[in-house]
Structure 1
Amino acid sequence: DRVSSPPRARDTGRDGHGHGARLPAEHRGHGRADRPSGGRRGRVLRRRDPAQLRRQRPRRPRRTGTGEEGDRQGRRYHRDVVRQDRASSSSTPRTPTSPGAVRKVPRVHSAGATRNAPLPSAATTDTGTPKVLSAAEVAEAGAEAAAGQDPLQGLQWDLPAIKADKAHEKSLGSPEVTVAVIDTGVDDTHPDIAPNFDRAASVNCVSGKPDTSEGAWRPGPSESAHGTHVAGEIAAAKNGVGMTGVAPGVKVSGIKVSNPDGYFYTEAVVCGFMWAAEHGVDVTNNSYYTDPWYFNCKNDPDQKALVEAVTRASRYAEKKGAVNVAAAGNENYDLSADEITDPVSPNDGTPSDRVIDPSECLDIPTQLPGVVTVAATGAKGLKSSFSNYGRGVVDIAAPGGDSTAYQPPQAPATSGLILGPLPGGKWGYMAGTSMAAPHVAGVAALIKSTHPYAPPSLVKALLYAQADATACTDPYDINGDGKVDAVCEGPKNRNGFYGWGMADALDAVTR
């Protein structure tokens, strides 16, 4: 973990504050715990005939975000600045580059104090430590690969878990669909990512101002592999190299929003959503929570302003055609509980235990209106030991991995974690709801490929209606110690562990 504060991207099996079973140390990364989700709206799941979809308005043209238009966009983002009065006694003017300034984008009218410390100019922190496959392991897996499979696909138990292997016999997805990975950066030079990478929809938003310079969206040499892993889970090409993504025929872009210390500050996240909205992105993946507050309480003026800023940005992205998908979090929290103890906020200052009401204090963007909240499952199809849950909060479930001791996979897979690409042409395992969300983002991209004129509301309705209903696990004693580790509430077709059920890639391409 980062010195003095837990990391942010949701890719590890941290157990939050002593709740429930904990992913064993050998399987935990050092990434930030995935976040919980907040209350969710009711869904209308009326099915529509495909002919209805064809009558809807045609897809909007993609904007390149480069050249003259990109320059204008950058100048506008830089010009619009929200001044914050975090310290009322301060007489120091807030400038666009001062720690108290938050950059503003159109339709985002307010933002509060985003941090208690200045942006560091140079520092490094892992937000996830993957288990890297050795050259010998890669060669061995390739030698055992079945005909028609990419060399490492046999290690991917997660693909058959959502019927993605069967889906690929029907469709790999459309190159007209782009999924944006709002994360720590994406290494587009990786052989599994390069064929499907959308450079025009990629950007560095760390400062709150879009930077489209060559490679600005990539992680630095000592920065986290998290975003690269996520991107490959979604859209690693089926090209005879490495592994296969859930939607290996769609495009993927990188929107880098975490600074060198691994913090995901609000102005960067707002910039990321706005960029996605204005560049034709169809799905965004959000496997993080915004810093420095795990939960942002609406009775605090600054935290309320942060919620409002990201809410407006995410809603704008959805209005422009994007389905926003987010990880539920890795603390084994019941997000429908009356109260939760948050021991990590603010994570860039002096954190202290605070008891919050998760219906009033929101994990953003996970709990925001319209966001698809994803819980994680392991190789046995059970809720991952670390995954947050909550009736009316979790929308859907997908593989995020778990300890191999808790949920061992079937051969030829050997690890209960999730395989993905890593910077530098490598592959490795990670676990977390950070890994579950991209599986759902990939399925959403397949739905969009099948129904190219479907608006986000219909893509989400199909996603939930096509999910495989999964009954509560009762009792849930994941580590077999005789103690109940979490309590699931709700019926088979919508409950606190699995939401509407397990994401279904095959239905996404056939219905």
Structure 2
Amino acid sequence: MAPLRSRRRRALAVPVGLALTASLGFLPGSATAAAPQTADAPASAAEAGPELSYVVNTETGAGTVGKVKKAIAKAGGTVVTAHDRIGVIVVHSANPDFARTMRTAEGVQSAGATRTAPLKAAGTTEVGKPEKVREPRSAAALAAARASGQEPLESLQWDIAAIRADKAAEVNPGSRKVTVAVIDTGVDDTHPDLAPNFSAKQSANCVGGLADTGKGAWRPYTEDDYHGTHVAGEIAAARNNVGVAGVAPGVKVSSIKVSEAETSLFYAEAVVCAFMFAADQGIEVTNNSYYIDPWMFNCKDDPDQGAIVEAVSRAAKFAGRKGAIHVASAGNSSFDLAAKSLTDTSSPNDTTPVERTVDPSKCLDIPTQLPGVVTVSATGPKALKSYYSNYGLNQIDVAGPGGDKYQVPEAPAKDGRILSTMPGGDYAYLQGTSMAGPHVAGVAALIKSKRPDASPQEIQWLLKAHADNPGCPTEPYDPDGDGKVNAECTGTQHINSFYGFGIVDALDAVEK
């Protein structure tokens, strides 16, 4: 998998093998160089462009959706699936003017291409590559760990103690009635730390926009697609004397795979499918350690990107109404999300990126910045914002341990990054806001376990109320020690741009 492109590629998940041994140009679907087509004359084979995927957002209601489907066919599109309950239709078309044609159709509110690369051409918020851990676990070491009440590798998990998840597990490890869905690159449910808590019935492969619930469809394509497995372990690795411990080791975890093979890109149609599937499966918490490709920021005033924002927003809201709280990573570009403008040099990441200046008030990192989503920044062992983490006053809700190679933990921990599960029964260190989000998702699951009737809004409020805020640093923020200030923290002790309302506290979540 490519390094957290900034966020997924952005969340800084960097497995570390413990030497323990271990503005925009023309976009497909909007104005293009191809001759415009009318609704009455779809592109001919000679005029056809690359086949792309689109979202068409309509008014809800069977009558309207039916009329729009006819217009889609007339414009040269093929319906992949229709989410009638939210008025989102996923379409494939080789008509280069398909989206513009559909925007004039009766009942259509927005339409746009979800990618710039053709279909079948072949992101996360982790930073760097994983480093596998090969920690010798002798009989004596295992006995010592059991005597201390720890998992064999837990002494290396500074993050668990940092949010008092070890103490929380003694009070309430979480309910089997609560499931956290990992919307990601897939989860290796055969890992011995994950198998006891894995919910196959609530897992699927949503790549392409249709939920495939076949046995194992939710698993990673290869061991290189490790991101989702690492995330799952942070949330719910069982306390079973095998390896590591999760924040909520008593809850269930499921996998909804949304990343495409080879590219590991997360397109809108797959994420819409994931939220709808989560809603139908009664999922209580979703973890979203990614941004929706190919745009790091989707600008609502661009017709294609605006349609993506609308489609994903509708699906996320639908799942929220069904009781799911969404937790999302803030990103790994060291951006101040409250700034007046930002420079994005990575989009579109499925073809050729073009530098653009975006207005954060109009261009959103989704699903992270959608209303109601819990936005999480990352911290290291010293309870200081991780060097790569995005931040922003009134943009960050809470913070969680995401790891930081510049912050050295106290012994016996050996690395400032996050140790968790990997495909094939392995373990590795990663760092990124991709790792911070799962810690918050785990705490959210603990709150839901203690308060089964709590709504997503109430859980978000409790996450904030129980958080511990270190306040803005008193010294200049220079995590890499190069003498340059990397970011300015603004706000108060109660709420600020680095930590929002503070770093989550698992023990308070189960006790208060």
User: Which bracket does the TM-score occupy, shorter chain normalised?
Assistant: 0.7 to 0.9
Is the contact made by 1:86 and 1:100 (CA closer than 8 Å) also made in structure 2? no
Q: 2:456 is matched with which residue?
A: 456
1:409-466 deviation line (CA, Å, top 9, x unaligned)? 1111101000110000111110000000000000000000000011111111111111
What SS does the aligned partner of 1:506 have?
Answer: helix
1:319-353 deviation line (CA, Å, top 9, x unaligned)? 10000000000011111011110001111122111
Q: 1:99 is matched with which residue?
A: 52
Q: How large is the RMSD of aligned CA atoms in angstroms?
A: 2.6
Alpha-carbon distance change, 136 to 392 in structure 1, aligned in 2, over 3 angstroms = same
Q: 1:329 is matched with which residue?
A: 331
Counterparts of 2:6 and 2:494 in 1: how far apart (Å)? 35
Q: 2:129 is matched with which residue?
A: 129
Q: 2:297 is matched with which residue?
A: 295
1:346-397 deviation line (CA, Å, top 9, x unaligned)? 1112211111111110010001000000000001110001000000001100
Q: 2:508 is matched with which residue?
A: 507
Is the contact made by 1:9 and 1:226 (CA closer than 8 Å) also made in structure 2? no
Is the contact made by 2:7 and 2:291 (CA closer than 8 Å) also made in structure 1? no
What SS does the aligned partner of 1:220 have?
Answer: coil
Cα distance, 1:92 vs structure 2: 3.9
Cα distance, 1:140 vs structure 2: 9.2
Counterparts of 1:243 and 1:211 in 2: how far apart (Å)? 30
Alpha-carbon distance change, 206 to 319 in structure 1, aligned in 2, over 3 angstroms = same
State how 1:218-229 maps to structure 2 within 5 Å.
218-229=219-230
Is the contact made by 2:182 and 2:254 (CA closer than 8 Å) also made in structure 1? yes
Q: 1:152 is matched with which residue?
A: 153
Q: 2:92 is matched with which residue?
A: none
1:137-158 deviation line (CA, Å, top 9, x unaligned)? 7989747635211111111000
Alpha-carbon distance change, 127 to 410 in structure 1, aligned in 2, over 3 angstroms = closer
What SS does the aligned partner of 2:129 have?
Answer: coil
Counterparts of 1:141 and 1:229 in 2: how far apart (Å)? 24
Is the contact made by 1:111 and 1:309 (CA closer than 8 Å) also made in structure 2? no
* Residue identity opposite 1:100 in structure 2: S
Counterparts of 2:425 and 2:31 in 1: how far apart (Å)? 44
Q: 1:181 is matched with which residue?
A: 182
What SS does the aligned partner of 1:411 have?
Answer: coil
Cα distance, 1:160 vs structure 2: 1.0
Unaligned residue ranges in structure 1 (runs of 5+): 14-22, 28-82
Q: 1:46 is matched with which residue?
A: none
State how 1:13-32 maps to structure 2 within 5 Å.
none
What SS does the aligned partner of 1:306 have?
Answer: helix
Cα distance, 1:193 vs structure 2: 0.5
Cα distance, 1:119 vs structure 2: 3.2
Q: 2:376 is matched with which residue?
A: 374
Alpha-carbon distance change, 93 to 376 in structure 1, aligned in 2, over 3 angstroms = farther
Alpha-carbon distance change, 504 to 409 in structure 1, aligned in 2, over 3 angstroms = same
Q: Which has more strand, going by share of residues?
A: 2
Is the contact made by 1:336 and 1:393 (CA closer than 8 Å) also made in structure 2? yes
Counterparts of 1:108 and 1:423 in 2: how far apart (Å)? 37
Q: 1:246 is matched with which residue?
A: 247
Percent identity between the two aligned chains: 57
Report 1 or 2 for greater relative contact order, CA contacts < 8 Å, sequence distance ≥ 6. Answer: 1
Counterparts of 1:86 and 1:181 in 2: how far apart (Å)? 36
Counterparts of 2:360 and 2:286 in 1: how far apart (Å)? 24
Q: 2:117 is matched with which residue?
A: 117
Counterparts of 2:503 and 2:457 in 1: how far apart (Å)? 19
Q: 1:47 is matched with which residue?
A: none
**In the alignment, does 2:388 pair up with 1:386?**
yes
Cα distance, 1:117 vs structure 2: 0.9
Counterparts of 1:218 and 1:428 in 2: how far apart (Å)? 18
Is the contact made by 1:392 and 1:495 (CA closer than 8 Å) also made in structure 2? yes
What SS does the aligned partner of 1:252 have?
Answer: strand
Counterparts of 2:431 and 2:481 in 1: how far apart (Å)? 20
Cα distance, 1:220 vs structure 2: 1.3
Alpha-carbon distance change, 135 to 169 in structure 1, aligned in 2, over 3 angstroms = closer
Counterparts of 1:298 and 1:271 in 2: how far apart (Å)? 21
1:7-33 deviation line (CA, Å, top 9, x unaligned)? 8443327xxxxxxxxx9x989xxxxxx
Q: 1:348 is matched with which residue?
A: 350
Q: 1:409 is matched with which residue?
A: 409
Counterparts of 1:483 and 1:119 in 2: how far apart (Å)? 44
Alpha-carbon distance change, 86 to 227 in structure 1, aligned in 2, over 3 angstroms = farther
Alpha-carbon distance change, 86 to 321 in structure 1, aligned in 2, over 3 angstroms = farther
Is the contact made by 2:469 and 2:495 (CA closer than 8 Å) also made in structure 1? yes
Alpha-carbon distance change, 108 to 467 in structure 1, aligned in 2, over 3 angstroms = farther
Cα distance, 1:240 vs structure 2: 0.9
Counterparts of 2:173 and 2:114 in 1: how far apart (Å)? 40
Counterparts of 1:233 and 1:100 in 2: how far apart (Å)? 33
Q: 2:469 is matched with which residue?
A: 469
Is the contact made by 2:223 and 2:423 (CA closer than 8 Å) also made in structure 1? no
Alpha-carbon distance change, 147 to 210 in structure 1, aligned in 2, over 3 angstroms = same
Counterparts of 2:118 and 2:224 in 1: how far apart (Å)? 19
TM-score, normalisation: structure 1: 0.81
Counterparts of 2:445 and 2:423 in 1: how far apart (Å)? 24
Unaligned residue ranges in structure 2 (runs of 5+): 18-27, 56-80, 89-109
Counterparts of 1:317 and 1:148 in 2: how far apart (Å)? 37
Alpha-carbon distance change, 434 to 6 in structure 1, aligned in 2, over 3 angstroms = closer
Cα distance, 1:477 vs structure 2: 1.2
Q: 2:195 is matched with which residue?
A: 194
Counterparts of 2:196 and 2:16 in 1: how far apart (Å)? 33
Is the contact made by 1:391 and 1:489 (CA closer than 8 Å) also made in structure 2? yes
What SS does the aligned partner of 1:424 have?
Answer: helix
Is the contact made by 1:84 and 1:100 (CA closer than 8 Å) also made in structure 2? no
Counterparts of 2:8 and 2:283 in 1: how far apart (Å)? 24
Q: 1:320 is matched with which residue?
A: 322
Is the contact made by 1:397 and 1:503 (CA closer than 8 Å) also made in structure 2? yes
State how 1:75-86 maps to structure 2 within 5 Å.
none
Counterparts of 2:111 and 2:150 in 1: how far apart (Å)? 48
Counterparts of 1:448 and 1:26 in 2: how far apart (Å)? 32
What SS does the aligned partner of 2:148 have?
Answer: coil
